[in-house]
Amino acid sequence: MPKITYTDAAGESRTVDAEVGATVMETAIKNDVPGIEAECGGACACATCHVYVDDAWREKVGDAAAMEQDMLDFAFDVRPSSRLSCQITVRDDLDGLVVTTPARQA
């Protein structure tokens, strides 16, 4: 089972087991990882599951699609590594993925 590490804005990390096929957002909610709100429940409609993908993982995770870029306009402190975690699906080759949650969700 792939593992995902969520680091919060204060630097504290939590590593949890993730199911292949679930999203990085769902994995966080299921494991009570703080810092991800997911107000809309995963419809790519709110920008409250914003994360920064660790630089080492950016290429493998890929870039945000156009619709996701549009939603990121509503997020706080958007950076080149920004993604909405509801739009990242867990795969076996993402085992070890590290994401950081922003200081606040929008």
Site for another protein, rule CB under 8 A:
39-40, 43, 45-46, 69-70, 72-78, 80, 104, 106
To the nearest whole angstrom, how small is the minimum distance from the Cβ of residue 2 to another protein?
25
As to burial, measured by CB atoms within 10 angstroms (0-12 exposed, 13-18 middle, 19+ buried), residue 90 is buried
Task: CB nearer to another protein: give 16 or 45.
Answer: 45
27 φ, ψ to 5°?
-60, -40
Task: CB nearer to another protein: give 5 or 69.
Answer: 69
User: For the chain, what's the residue count?
Assistant: 106
Task: CB nearer to another protein: give 17 or 39.
Answer: 39
- The encoded tokens of residue 1 equal 């089972």
- Separation between Cα atoms, residue 27 and residue 19, nearest integer Å: 8
Residue 23 DSSP SS3: strand
To the nearest whole angstrom, how small is the minimum distance from the Cβ of residue 7 to another protein?
20
To the nearest whole angstrom, how small is the minimum distance from the Cβ of residue 96 to another protein?
28
- Separation between Cα atoms, residue 16 and residue 1, nearest integer Å: 10
To the nearest whole angstrom, how small is the minimum distance from the Cβ of residue 45 to another protein?
4
Task: CB nearer to another protein: give 17 or 70.
Answer: 70
